[in-house]
Structure 1
């Protein structure tokens, strides 16, 4: 429950805390809503588009959607069960209202336009509400303007067209590029504010009555999706919420899965590490596909693997770390002259990691193909050839240094990258046994054994009693925990490594990414903490794994979402909601459930 000030703009100059946000989406874009009912992040028309509403990064000029009581209030919120429809209840001295927020979906899936509906229901008494639709400058790239056309309220920002319907209680300023006003909501009263948007195409203005039907239909669509969900093990509610969060990040037009819904939310108070995560990482896609397949979500599984294979087949000799959600997406970093969240810059679109060499992605890619084939699906002939080509390439390149999983600039012999190469060859061997890959399995098996022996000899520290971050050094890296579930090591060396990581990188159940991360000002990395739980289960410490999971599940925000990092005091850092964090939760829960049995 949160108490908010009377002034509708108070508190926004500093920016709402990352953990104070909830996310809604429609399969094409994602909106972030803070506890005050303010939307401070919404790219239009697509998740990777420039953000038309971006007060999260630019409080003065970024733009926002406001719907909140004028007087002091407390708020509590939840997702309607099994949905990504948000319900916020505001209580004031004069009454109570309930706001339902939804990005509307159609009868047969996403709409061809973006339709954001905000329904206000009076619960008791009378509450006066402020409302506003105020687009921003698109990170300094456009100047919004307003006009009335045949009685309709229209906003223009670059090529984006926005229509505002539903509320007639307006106080329009013809000189301001916004629409807004105040409404009185009494007990039993229902009012609806709708914003629709298109990009470089005509604008459809919905009939107000149809919008209300659309909110209920969207709720039913999400409930229907959740009813196909097939997990009833431990932490079922958290697993389902994580699956719903991943569904928000799945870009339906192509099947790509974004790493997060935002760009430039800082990883540290120092700033600098502010990257755009609205791209699809091969690694994240691999983890997501395993979860989606396990949950019986066939359409999403097929769409995601088809997207990934199309992307990779474009240039299989140069497998990239990440790809755009659309073919026209560019990962070239561009810095924007806006202040950033709470003034912590820079604000960047694009991500330099796109051009890095990370050998671990080979293991991610082939493990995706294996999971899909092992579930009873049939790989097409070009994909079977791709498997063989990638396996042969791994045999040649595993000895090279790379940037490692954490996208560092210095090329080194990262232990987890070598383990990922071993994982790739193991997956290729299993695909060959299934008759879904042709090539030279004898060579793959021989090189896999050489990788394992090399890691055992060069990447183990007797002094630390642990696998190290890089060969021949004494730094530690939590990403080696991924290779307990992969099967590289579930014995005493992995058990000893877990102990060393908890000792050197741990903060209770939380883990920092690698040696030096804490000194650089980072908070513990959420996914690493879930990897710890899964690895504990893999080495036989199921009770300890369960205890860690119980703690971590309780560290989500009030609606069950995670960012990239969580400080010891509960503060979120990094982009949000973060797919890898939710994938870590899902994978740990599934691993522990399997090993309990």
Structure 2
């Protein structure tokens, strides 16, 4: 048991340059705009400190979360990303997209730059990081507390052997790293205030206020535990009692262990499936039941590139993939919570449903550029909001009708207003299915007749017909009309979507380009896996749309034009690589499917996280992280292969991977 040391401020005083609400809009400079016409926000005059260059790569981060927000912890012991009080709130630690000037909490041995080993405690999202130094061994435990009254981070330093000198610097910067808050002391807590928001810190060691940061140096000996508890709260509640670190650790361990062990999955990849399920759970927003695409914004799809997007929102399509993973493993509560959120959100304006919403159901997601942040590894611009919310993506309504049918078929009763919701989505399909759209991949170039959108049109109509029959709705004329439309769409897909010369279904009508989304066609029941056209398409994608055996979404630039209207390239897409494993299994190549699946498992970082994309040349993760699309696809592929009797014997096959990916995953 460590001795409690009363925290205090040094004699230094700090007068904050400004006292700004972290939820307020960033300071607008001269009204400049970037080349795409987005609003370009520039920093206020307060950001003057020198920053430490960031050396962490995307795969160096682990996630801790409380189902309202999440933090990223680097292998160097720094928390470089945290938005409070919600996932989509302005970040107070934003070094992930800049440097130490933009907010960071470091905690590490004074002489070390990178941890020696880290892992999640079994069946939890409690991160344990071991540091081996010349002086001894120390362990840092990091967590956020699900169900706590306010977002809370607990960090515990524990001496294992020897006497290790430690250092910490806690430097919140409000409004995505724009400015420091006002620092003061309140009883035994250190407090930072900005507008109506407060950050509270309790510590077992003395901390001094230096350069708008709480800083401390201390030593830890065997058996000694030093605890830090950092909380967000309204400024009026700074006197609220703070949960003890020991209580927080126990509550967090109990929550995750109880939740993940409800899983019904039983197969050769139990630990991997559990890990991904916990990541997916951490990407749910408990107050509403919505599901995020990822925990971050603007991590680049290629280093130095401009394909940097804000994924801290709920895409209806992406959520359906997470829901399939939950449904396949017995986590029905999350499915029902999302379904209920969807009904409330869409029926607020049923004539104009959107393809995505904020996690609280808000529909206004204006896209802006934060001009003061240089971007991860210099990859600018940094964006918040997402213009895709206003795109026409005709596949989404079929995706939602499909998952609602799956939920109903699993035995979950319909929501009282579900029929109204489903009719609103069906109305969208019937009104717009003949129109070109932006498609699954949200292209920012010209709209096209994307084959995947037409496929999901067929799916939506088919599920609507099934729903009518399931509920015993006696509307023969409507059913006849829908059945006729279903046949019309199916005929058009086959006649206009299949390229005889390529012997493959292609990206859009009249196109000779492949698209990985076509791998999903048999999953939706449109054609069987044994259909010659399906097999030929899988072969073509495996042959012509892969890089080092991993699947691209599509060829961004074929030397003639750019399909999606965004400059630059991107990495291989992890979800589509899992889809290829599913397809190989579907066409009878189960051994090849299992080998690819094992390879994909090997691409996870040292604590089991996957981002959106992967660079097979450098071995680096790319895009926002952790990515729900990737982890949901991992779970559903594992379930499918396990049902077929596939085993981990494929692990004996060692693919030719870059050295950076050869890591042991806990």
TM more than 0.5: yes
Residue aligning to 1:565: 613
Change (3 A) 1:192 1:373: same
Q: 1:425 aligns with which of 461, 464, 467?
A: 461
C-alpha separation between the residues in 2 aligned to 1:42 and 1:517? 35
Q: 2:308 aligns with which of 260, 274, 287?
A: 274
Asked if residue 496 in structure 1 is aligned to residue 532 in structure 2, the reply is no
Residue aligning to 1:580: 629
Give 1:201 shift. 4.3
Give 1:536 shift. 1.7
Asked if residue 83 in structure 1 is aligned to residue 124 in structure 2, the reply is yes
Residue aligning to 1:144: 181
Change (3 A) 1:436 1:227: farther
Give 1:544 shift. 1.7
Please say which of residues 365-374 and 21-30 is displaced more in the overlay: 365-374
Asked if residue 261 in structure 1 is aligned to residue 266 in structure 2, the reply is no
Q: 2:507 aligns with which of 469, 489, 513?
A: 469
Q: Secondary structure at the match of 2:280?
A: helix
Contact 1:538 1:595 in 2 (8 A): no
Q: 1:447 aligns with which of 459, 477, 485?
A: 485
Structure 1 runs (4+) greater than 4 angstroms displaced: 9-12, 204-208, 436-439
Residue aligning to 1:103: 144
Q: Deviations over 1:463-491 (max 9, x none)?
A: 21111101011011111112221122222
Q: 2:355 aligns with which of 321, 327, 343?
A: 321
Q: Secondary structure at the match of 2:524?
A: coil
Q: Secondary structure at the match of 1:371?
A: helix
Q: Deviations over 1:402-436 (max 9, x none)?
A: 00111012111000110111111121122222217
Q: Secondary structure at the match of 1:242?
A: helix
Q: 2:262 aligns with which of 223, 228, 240?
A: 228
C-alpha separation between the residues in 2 aligned to 1:314 and 1:225? 32
Asked if residue 42 in structure 1 is aligned to residue 82 in structure 2, the reply is yes
Change (3 A) 1:10 1:85: farther
Residue aligning to 1:3: none
Q: 1:368 aligns with which of 403, 421, 427?
A: 403
Asked if residue 159 in structure 1 is aligned to residue 203 in structure 2, the reply is no
C-alpha separation between the residues in 2 aligned to 1:234 and 1:361? 33
Residue aligning to 1:412: 448
C-alpha separation between the residues in 1 aligned to 2:548 and 2:556? 18
Residue aligning to 1:252: 286
Give 1:595 shift. 4.2
C-alpha separation between the residues in 2 aligned to 1:328 and 1:403? 22
**Pairs aligned (count):** 582
C-alpha separation between the residues in 1 aligned to 2:92 and 2:231? 13
Asked if residue 553 in structure 1 is aligned to residue 601 in structure 2, the reply is yes
C-alpha separation between the residues in 2 aligned to 1:104 and 1:473? 50
Contact 1:359 1:398 in 2 (8 A): yes
Please say which of residues 322-331 and 129-138 is displaced more in the overlay: 322-331
Change (3 A) 1:18 1:518: farther
Give 1:594 shift. 3.4
Q: Secondary structure at the match of 1:138?
A: helix
C-alpha separation between the residues in 2 aligned to 1:423 and 1:90? 52
Residue aligning to 2:588: 540
Give 1:596 shift. 4.5
Give 1:204 shift. 4.7
Q: Which runs of 5+ in 1 are unaligned?
A: 1-8
Contact 1:115 1:195 in 2 (8 A): yes
Give 1:509 shift. 3.2
Asked if residue 29 in structure 1 is aligned to residue 64 in structure 2, the reply is no
Residue aligning to 2:32: none
Contact 2:172 2:180 in 1 (8 A): no
Give 1:171 shift. 2.8
Contact 2:340 2:415 in 1 (8 A): no
C-alpha separation between the residues in 2 aligned to 1:25 and 1:310? 25
C-alpha separation between the residues in 2 aligned to 1:436 and 1:102? 49
Give 1:200 shift. 5.2
Change (3 A) 1:312 1:329: closer
Q: 2:554 aligns with which of 514, 519, 541?
A: 514
C-alpha separation between the residues in 2 aligned to 1:292 and 1:299? 9
C-alpha separation between the residues in 1 aligned to 2:621 and 2:380? 16
Change (3 A) 1:196 1:523: same
Residue aligning to 2:340: 306
C-alpha separation between the residues in 2 aligned to 1:136 and 1:552? 37
Asked if residue 184 in structure 1 is aligned to residue 224 in structure 2, the reply is no
Q: 1:591 aligns with which of 640, 646, 650?
A: 640
Q: Deviations over 1:103-144 (max 9, x none)?
A: 023xxxx12211110011110001111112110142255442
Contact 1:511 1:524 in 2 (8 A): yes
Please say which of residues 371-380 and 556-565 is displaced more in the overlay: 371-380
Change (3 A) 1:14 1:121: closer
Give 1:256 shift. 0.5
Q: Deviations over 1:558-591 (max 9, x none)?
A: 1111111000032011111001011111122222
Q: Secondary structure at the match of 1:56?
A: helix
Asked if residue 340 in structure 1 is aligned to residue 378 in structure 2, the reply is no
Give 1:388 shift. 3.2
Give 1:301 shift. 1.5
Task: Tell me the TM-score normalised to structure 2 length.
Answer: 0.84
Change (3 A) 1:392 1:596: farther
Residue aligning to 2:159: 122
C-alpha separation between the residues in 2 aligned to 1:496 and 1:217? 52
